[in-house]
Each structure stands twice: as structure tokens, then as C-alpha cells.
């Protein structure tokens, strides 16, 4: 699986979507407004599938912060029917959705089994009730019906925090997923999120004891790129729309140290729109033990024979080895194919 995920896998879409006009009584517990109540699990901790270090492995990325808000749409459906009209593109009016599932706001509150909401929702009150669900993060009360790419659809705004990329929001979406009452019952539905951005991580180290003894600290990493600073995200697919321009994006590294011999933990984790981001130049600001700062170039697309790719739901890892100024480079950067992920090894001479 080559993407960031939350929860369980998507279910197959086999439902016929229509308005809730079937008055067949619904049996079961937690009946609200004639249908069985539906809730959403608080067990939504993100993880990333890391493929940059060889075989696929899983490592924690983030968890929702307390009081994080998630938006949810629900379309009435029948279990075992056809999926002719289940997508979000055909649902422009609030009355096209299940009651209390039109851009519904759910809040993650630690200690609760389910996401919390002021307006509980239900399954449709009909035979073989089902819902086609779409979730996105973070919740935005001002979602709009607009064109994303070439399709008019429900969309939410997004924005990079270019002056402090550590504060950029991790925009996510579930895509369509089906919840059948016969399978779910009164159990909370687990939402399955995918990430709309691609990641660019940096790990720093030195194979030189001389360098490590100086006590260098990493103050910041700066990425010069051509991409979008803000735009719209499709709630249905996570597709991003934006106008590109040249940006300078900075990630404060918090005085991170340099590990000896092997790369340490990632000290800078950028997120960018995938596929359409051109990385032009990368620098890092270093400070020696005497408090003297200097900027070092890690990458410049004008002089290096490779690109730094940004792929949706994947991480490109740059491992930076700092060497004494009289050292000899160990070799050119190694860029693997995306089949096994991408790792870029770079040697930088300190002056």
C-alpha cells in the first residue's frame, strides 16, 4: 500500500443512492428519527507507509490533536444495489444528503470512543439501509461548490504556511466509503483517510568525528520552489487546484544536532502539493559551537543532475552527510525509483 492511511481499508461501493423516502421501519438499537444511529470511531491515528529505506515499513506520522474537527458527508443508499448515483459530484443541495450528514462537524475528544457531534446522525429508515460516506480534515464550515480541475464539486480551501512549514496543516480525505447497517450495526464506523500532499523529509548526520566534535546545530531548512501557496481540495478525491508561483518555504529545525555515522530522525518535514511542485533549491542554516551561522546549499536544480520528486501520499527522504571542507565526496546522489520509494543521499562540505 503506497499511501498514508488512517483506519481500515475502503469498502467496495455497491449501493444505489437516493433520497430517504422509504418508510420501511428500521429495527435495531439507538433509533433516532426512525433510523438506527450511526457514530464514528475516535480510533483515528495517522500512520505513514515509508518506502524510502528499502522494504515497506510503518512509522508513526501524527495523531489528531485534541478538539480537532473532521467534516463528514453521508448519502442515503441501499445495501447490495447499484452505484449509479453515489458520488459527491451529483449532490449539490443539502437535501440530497442524509439528515445531519451534510458537511457535519465531528470533534476528536480524547477519552471518548466516538467522535463527538452536536447533531447525531442516523442510517436511512428503510429496508437494507446503507450510507456512502465522505470525510475530510480539517473541517471547514465554508466549503463551497466550485470547479476543481475540470469538475464542479464540493471543495475546501487549503494553504501552506511558508514562513513556518512545521505549521502547515496535513490536509486529508477519505474518498467514498460504504457503511451498511447490516455490517456495522451499532459499532462506530472507522474512517480511512488519505493524505492530499506529498512529503519531503530531511535527516542530517556526519561520518566525520571532527565535524561532530564542533557541535554544529541545524537552525532551519529552506526550500525554494515553484508551486501553489493556496487553493482548493476536492472533498471527493483530494485533488488540489492552485496557481503556481515561486515560493520560499522555511522549516525551523529547533537547533537540532547532527548524529554521528548514521542519519538521525527527520528534523524537517515539508508538505507540498504533489506532482506539480518544482523544487528549485534547498539550503540549510548551520550554527557552529561558537555561535557563527552559515547557509549551505543542499540542492540546486540548475547544477544537479536529478529532480527532487513530490508524490501524493509518499515521502522523499534526503539524507545529508556533512563533511570537513577538505573531504572527498563519496559519490553522486542516489535516486531510487518510486517502486521502492525515493532516497537522496547528499554530501555537503563545511567551510
- The DSSP 8-state label assigned to residue 209 in this structure reads H
Task: Give the residue carrying C-alpha cell 457531534.
Answer: 117
Q: Does 187 share its domain with 279?
A: no
Domain count, the chain: 2
| 264 class by beta-carbon count within 10 Å (0-12 exposed, 13-18 middle, 19+ buried) | middle
Q: Quick one: pLDDT at residue 326?
A: 52
d(CA 94, CA 19): 11
> For the domain that residue 142 is a member of, what is the CATH number?
2.60.40.2620
H or E element in which residue 273 lies: none
Q: Does 163 share its domain with 43?
A: yes
The answer to whether the beta carbons of residues 209 and 324 sit under 8 Å apart is no
Q: Does 71 share its domain with 185?
A: yes
Domain boundary among 195, 229, 260: 195
Q: Does 142 share its domain with 208?
A: no
Q: Quick one: pLDDT at residue 126?
A: 77
Domain boundary among 148, 175, 195: 195
Q: Does 223 share its domain with 311?
A: yes
Is 99 among the domain residues? Answer: yes
Ramachandran quadrant class, 68 (left: phi over 0; alpha: psi -120 to 50; beta: rest): beta
Read off the C-alpha cell for 189.
464506523
Q: Does 88 share its domain with 101?
A: yes
> For the domain that residue 219 is a member of, what is the CATH number?
2.60.40.2630
Burial 41-56 (b: 16+ CB within 10 A, else e): bbebebebbbbbeeee
Q: How many CB atoms lie within 10 A of CB 193?
A: 24
Whether the full predicted model's pTM is greater than 0.85, yes or no, is no
Q: Does 321 share its domain with 245?
A: yes
pLDDT string in tens for the chain (351-residue length): 333 434 433 333 334 454 444 444 433 433 334 478 999 998 764 444 333 333 333 333 346 788 999 999 999 988 876 656 767 887 889 999 999 999 999 999 988 989 999 999 999 987 888 999 999 999 999 999 998 988 889 999 999 999 999 999 999 999 999 999 999 988 999 888 889 999 999 999 999 888 888 888 999 999 999 999 999 999 999 999 999 999 999 999 988 888 998 888 889 999 999 999 999 999 999 888 888 898 999 999 998 888 899 999 888 999 988 887 654 434 333 333 222 347 777 666 665
Q: Which residue range is the domain that position 121 belongs to? A: 16-195
Q: Does 219 share its domain with 327?
A: yes
Domain boundary among 195, 216, 241: 195
d(CA 317, CA 51): 10
- The DSSP 8-state label assigned to residue 296 in this structure reads E
Q: Does 146 share its domain with 181?
A: yes
Is 72 among the domain residues? Answer: yes
Q: Does 220 share its domain with 241?
A: yes
Is 6 among the domain residues? Answer: no
Q: Does 123 share its domain with 167?
A: yes
Q: Does 226 share its domain with 181?
A: no
Name residues whose C-beta falls within 8 Å of residue 275's C-beta, 6 or more positions apart in sequence.
198, 310, 311, 312
| 296 class by beta-carbon count within 10 Å (0-12 exposed, 13-18 middle, 19+ buried) | middle
Q: Quick one: pLDDT at residue 9?
A: 33
d(CA 228, CA 240): 9
Read off the C-alpha cell for 219.
537552525
Amino acid at each position: 500500500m503506497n499511501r498514508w492511511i488512517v483506519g481500515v481499508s475502503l469498502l467496495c461501493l455497491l449501493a444505489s443512492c437516493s433520497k430517504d423516502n422509504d418508510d420501511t421501519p428500521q429495527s435495531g438499537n439507538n433509533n433516532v428519527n426512525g433510523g438506527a444511529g450511526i457514530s464514528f470511531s475516535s480510533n483515528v491515528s495517522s500512520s505513514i507507509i515509508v518506502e524510502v529505506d528499502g522494504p515497506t515499513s510503518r512509522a508513526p506520522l501524527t495523531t489528531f490533536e485534541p478538539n480537532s474537527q473532521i467534516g463528514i458527508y453521508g448519502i442515503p443508499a441501499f445495501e447490495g444495489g447499484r452505484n449509479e448515483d453515489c458520488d459527491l459530484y451529483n449532490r449539490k443541495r443539502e437535501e440530497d444528503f442524509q439528515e445531519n450528514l451534510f458537511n457535519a462537524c465531528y470533534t476528536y475528544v480524547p477519552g471518548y470512543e466516538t467522535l463527538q457531534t452536536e447533531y447525531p446522525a442516523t442510517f436511512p429508515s428503510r429496508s437494507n439501509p446503507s450510507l456512502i460516506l465522505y470525510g475530510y480534515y480539517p473541517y471547514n464550515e465554508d466549503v463551497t461548490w466550485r470547479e476543481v480541475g475540470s469538475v464542479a464539486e464540493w471543495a475546501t480551501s487549503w494553504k501552506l504556511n511558508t514562513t513556518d512549514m512545521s505549521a502547515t496543516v496535513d490536509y486529508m480525505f477519505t474518498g467514498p466509503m460504504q457503511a451498511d447497517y447490516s455490517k456495522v450495526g451499532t459499532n462506530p464506523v472507522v474512517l480511512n483517510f488519505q493524505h492530499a500532499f506529498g512529503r519531503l523529509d530531511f535527516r542530517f548526520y556526519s561520518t566525520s568525528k571532527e565535524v561532530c566534535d564542533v557541535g554544529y546545530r541545524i537552525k532551519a531548512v529552506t526550500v525554494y520552489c515553484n508551486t501553489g501557496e493556496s487553493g482548493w481540495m476536492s472533498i471527493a478525491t483530494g485533488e488540489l487546484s492552485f496557481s503556481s508561483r515561486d515560493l520560499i518555504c522555511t522549516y525551523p529545525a529547533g537547533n537540532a544536532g547532527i548524529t554521528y555515522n548514521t542519519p538521525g530522525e527527520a528534523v524537517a518535514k515539508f508538505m507540498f502539493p504533489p506532482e506539480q511542485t518544482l523544487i528549485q533549491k534547498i539550503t540549510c542554516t548551520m550554527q557552529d559551537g561558537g555561535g557563527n551561522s552559515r547557509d549551505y546549499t543542499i540542492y540546486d536544480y540548475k547544477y544537479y543532475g536529478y529532480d527532487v520528486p513530490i508524490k501524493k501520499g509518499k515521502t522523499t527522504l534526503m539524507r545529508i552527510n556533512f563533511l570537513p571542507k577538505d573531504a572527498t565526496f563519496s559519490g553522486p546522489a542516489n535516486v531510487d525509483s518510486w517502486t521502492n520509494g525515493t532516497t537522496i543521499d547528499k554530501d555537503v562540505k563545511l567551510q
